[in-house]
Structure 1
């Protein structure tokens, strides 16, 4: 590994951790929506968004460092973190839509 590369394992693990938390909260929200506990479901989605915000903040920090000439080593772990973040963002978005569908179902 070149000494010029910046190995950011702690930041990578932050992205993975916060992303995983967000995805888990989205699935918890879906379970609450199935029971028509919409207030709880929406709170869980909000908490998940906060986790995603933290992961995104760390991702942005790494991107800014690279733009400022301090590249990160491109590792399988980094790719995994990015994949984890994007999957969690999609899961949260789908959870929002499914909660709304459960609300419509309850009205009918």
Structure 2
């Protein structure tokens, strides 16, 4: 196993997942909640790839393999944590946008 390649997979998939989640947020802001939800599913699938790579590295270390702690590894872990955190927040923001949209439609019906 090439540790640096695995680390770059974490960075790449984590960054992709975060970018896709922001696309979902923009779609929700524009009222396309169905597509926003599909994008969030895609973001979660991509995030799972990053998380699975992280898990592989953790298991390798548990099984006696030497996983060097480097600035690149720290960066990958930070990148993954930020993606997880931001995606959780984006999921909540999409729910809020959906609720606002429903209330605006309901209010428009009563006017």
Task: State TM-score, norm by structure 1.
Answer: 0.92
1:3-23 deviation digits (Å, cap 9, x = unpaired): xxx860000000000000000
* Corresponding position of 1:42: 37
Following superposition, the deviation at residue 71 of structure 1 comes to 1.9
Which segments of 5 or more consecutive residues in structure 2 lack a partner in the other structure?
104-111
Asked if the contact 1:15/1:56 (under 8 Å) is kept, the reply is: yes
* Corresponding position of 2:47: 52
* Corresponding position of 1:93: 88
* Corresponding position of 1:3: none
Q: Distance in 1 between matches of 2:12 and 2:2?
A: 18
Find runs of 4+ consecutive structure 1 residues off by over 6 angstroms: none
Number of equivalences? 103
Which of 28, 33, 40 does residue 33 from structure 1 map onto?
A: 28
Q: Distance in 1 between matches of 2:87 and 2:10?
A: 15
Q: Distance in 2 between matches of 1:49 and 1:104?
A: 22
Q: How does 1:7-86 map to 2 (within 5 A)?
A: 8-86=3-81
Task: State TM-score, norm by structure 2.
Answer: 0.90
Structure 1 or 2, whichever has the larger Rg, is: 2
Which segments of 5 or more consecutive residues in structure 1 lack a partner in the other structure?
1-5
Q: Distance in 1 between matches of 2:2 and 2:74?
A: 13
Following superposition, the deviation at residue 50 of structure 1 comes to 0.5
